[in-house]
Amino acid sequence: MASFSGARVKMVVAVCVAVLLLSMGPAAMADLVEDCRNKCVPGCQLTAPAACTSIVQTAPDLKVTCETRFRDLCMVLCMVFCTANTLPPASSPICLNVI
């Protein structure tokens, strides 16, 4: 039953993102997705190895797939927030504390 609710949540998120992007129109949507991808890819590629170092210490079975899985999840989350225009600018205090 838990996987059913997880699938339902993913479907709801996908529908919400699609409705949001469609409401912006095709040109705005294409530019926004490309801009977000350019922002999300480097960040997810940098954080995956660091996160997996801690994860693999706890769960050694994930050593082979951890970085790929983490990067994929990071990209999905980053793209959802970015395309909803909710990511703070890189110069904000929140981002500076993370870096």
Q: How many domains does the chain have?
A: 1
Domain residues for the domain of 7 are: 2-98
pLDDT for the residue 24: 55
Residue 96: predicted pLDDT: 47
Q: For residues 95 and 99, what is the distance between their CA atoms, to the nearest angstrom?
A: 6
pLDDT digits (tens, 9 = 90+) for 62-88: 889 999 999 999 999 988 888 886 655
Q: Are 28 and 34 in contact (CB under 8 A)?
A: no
Rounded CA gap, 66 and 52, in Å?
6
Q: How many residues does the chain have?
A: 99
Q: Could you tell me the pTM of the whole model?
A: 0.54
DSSP H helical segments within 1-99, as ranges? 2-24, 26-58, 66-83, 93-98
With a pLDDT cut of 90, the percent of the chain lying above it is: 20
Selection from 28, 49, 38, 50 nearest residue 75 by Cα: 38
Residue 98 token pair: 């993370």
Residues of the chain with pLDDT under 70: 1-30, 85-99
